[in-house]
Structure 1
Amino acid sequence: MRTVIVTGAGQGLGRAHALAFAAAGAQLVLNDLSAANLEAVAAELGPGVVTVPGDIADWDFAAALVDRAVAEFGRLDALVNNAGLVRDRMLTNVTEAEWDDVVRVNLKGHFAPLRHAAAYWKAQAKAGTPVAARVVNTTSGAGLQGSVGQVNYAAAKAGVAALTVVAAAELARHGVTVNAIAPSARTPMTEEVFAATMRAPESGFDEMAPENVSPLVVWLASAGAGDVTGRVFEVSGGRIGVADGWQHGDVSDAGRRWDQEELGPVVRDLLARAPQPAAVYGA
């Protein structure tokens, strides 16, 4: 039986993940800033679920969350970083506080628990205990392609994608995989964005239901997913795809320092040969 931490588990995607993990037989440690939301989810799941309300971007709290999972169940097998926050504004209207809050919760709120969980798994591996640990982070299409009106959120979620690939490379030797999802689903965070899809679908399949995302999360956190790491998956409705990140493109090499006057045609030729980037959402 695998022990799983899910952050932001009080509503939306986190709640859906918790229900899916419980159905798969996992032992759960659920975190959310709202104790009331956590208790409501725990009531749905029944006895044996550990709830730990608190600020996941707080360094000491994140460490205590990992310690609590190990103390309660004797092990930690997976960390699902899901907690998030939006403060949508156009670039010229974002306040310092709105920038700091969004980057803190979305990016540091991923790094802090990952850092402490990774330290636990590294110690286990060094002690000779077999480790088959999994981390599933939550980025966003905003972080992969950008999103007008979400400069703070897009920057934080792009950071999560970069964090994912670096952590995957560093932690592979310790038996830890690290992947990310970029979900598209209707949650309290996105209800304004997806207001047009709030009505019940005629087909009977609600493509924006958060429950559509959870099966992939549960699989990525499973013991059987040990050969998949450092990847970002886009998930929406019944669709799953692999997001392809930055790649090295064509190069023009002068074999010397370039003179700025000659660079116009060179840069335009490189751009003509390069694939067009995906459009920024809302542009």
Structure 2
Amino acid sequence: MNHPMHLEGQNIIVTGAGQGIGEAVARQVVALGAQAILVDTQGDKVRALAQELGASHAQAHVGSVADADFVQAMVAQAVANHGAVHGLVNNAGIVRAAMIHKMSSETWQQVIDVNLSGVFYCLKTVGQHMLDRLAAGDAGPASIVNISSDAARRGTIGQVNYGAAKAGVLGITMSAAREWAAKGIRVNSVCFGIVETEMTETVRADKFRDRMLAMVPMGRFASAEEVSRPVAFLLSGAASYITGQHLSVNGGYAIGS
């Protein structure tokens, strides 16, 4: 019997693939048989990852998801190279911290552009391709996973831009799921707690570590590798009847929300 989470024959775009969770997701989907289409602004990192995974398993695209023209060109190139896109992981994100009363308009907009508008641009462009492909009779899988955060559910101190963007991602997920479910496209989100990546180095430092761990019932932070698996699950046929849902992967940090 085939493994229920296999991704063989699928072409999957992973944004923010140059490091952290995006890199781990890229490795996971390739391990499950997919072709990974890697997107990041960090050209050296994403090209090195593509080279390590091998040209037959991964290809790199360098650019920002906040640039709608780049997104359109990247998706068009992916379709031209591979024939179809079957999955999208909207993972690219940045952090620009400041307390609300000290946050500049520029700092607010930088995070909104990448973490919210970037998700919309990728979802819209890939979604249109999937709609066209399915309407033409291609019965292949079509799944989108948007990476959100528990900051979208609990709020966050010093990152109102990040919390607002990630809350918006939940709304995008539910709206797209409702519009596209009958067409055969599944759209879900994953909300992470604190994952051991470069982006969370500050909150995992000695100054905050004990306080943050005290809020996690499992008593530890997550590794990027272990949180990549639920993302792969939502991409796979094992989640074929799941859409419009927000899966919390947080060690119990947020329960019942």
Please report the TM-score for the alignment, with normalisation by the length of structure 1: 0.79
Say whether the 8 Å CA contact 2:146–2:169 is kept in structure 1. yes
TM-aligned CA deviation for residue 233 of structure 1: 1.0
Q: Determine if the alignment matches structure 1 residue 3 to structure 2 residue 3.
A: no
Residue 259 of structure 1 corresponds to which residue in structure 2? none
1:32-181 to 2 correspondences below 5 Å: 32-48=40-56, 49-181=58-190
What's the Cα RMSD here? 2.0
Structure having greater relative contact order (Cα 8 Å, sep ≥ 6): 2
Secondary structure of residue in 2 paired with 1:213:
helix
Secondary structure of residue in 2 paired with 1:139:
strand
1:153-232 to 2 correspondences below 5 Å: 153-184=162-193, 185-196=195-206, 207-232=221-246
> Are the structure 2 counterparts of residues 207 and 99 from structure 1 closer, same or farther at C-alpha, using a change threshold of 3 Å?
closer
Distance 2:133 2:30 in 1: 25
TM-aligned CA deviation for residue 43 of structure 1: 2.9
Secondary structure of residue in 1 paired with 2:94:
coil
Distance 1:105 1:209 in 2: 23
1:242-257 to 2 correspondences below 5 Å: 244=257
> Are the structure 2 counterparts of residues 88 and 221 from structure 1 closer, same or farther at C-alpha, using a change threshold of 3 Å?
same
Q: Determine if the alignment matches structure 1 residue 19 to structure 2 residue 27.
A: yes
Question: Alignment length, in residue pairs?
Answer: 237
My pick for the range that moved more, 57-66 or 108-117, is 57-66
Residue 202 of structure 1 corresponds to which residue in structure 2? none
Distance 1:23 1:243 in 2: 32
TM-aligned CA deviation for residue 61 of structure 1: 0.9
Say whether the 8 Å CA contact 1:131–1:176 is kept in structure 2. no
Opposite residue 171 of structure 2, the aligned amino acid is A
Q: For the pair shown, which has the larger CA radius of gyration, 1 or 2?
A: 1
Distance 2:255 2:181 in 1: 20
What runs of 5+ residues in structure 1 fail to find an aligned partner? 199-204, 245-283
Secondary structure of residue in 2 paired with 1:75:
coil
Opposite residue 172 of structure 1, the aligned amino acid is A
Opposite residue 70 of structure 2, the aligned amino acid is F
Opposite residue 192 of structure 1, the aligned amino acid is T
Secondary structure of residue in 2 paired with 1:189:
helix
TM-aligned CA deviation for residue 206 of structure 1: 7.0
Residue 6 of structure 2 corresponds to which residue in structure 1? none
> Are the structure 2 counterparts of residues 206 and 148 from structure 1 closer, same or farther at C-alpha, using a change threshold of 3 Å?
closer
Secondary structure of residue in 2 paired with 1:39:
helix
Identity %: 40
Distance 2:186 2:73 in 1: 22
Distance 1:8 1:169 in 2: 26
Please report the TM-score for the alignment, with normalisation by the length of structure 2: 0.87
Opposite residue 223 of structure 1, the aligned amino acid is G
Distance 1:240 1:149 in 2: 19
> Are the structure 2 counterparts of residues 242 and 228 from structure 1 closer, same or farther at C-alpha, using a change threshold of 3 Å?
farther
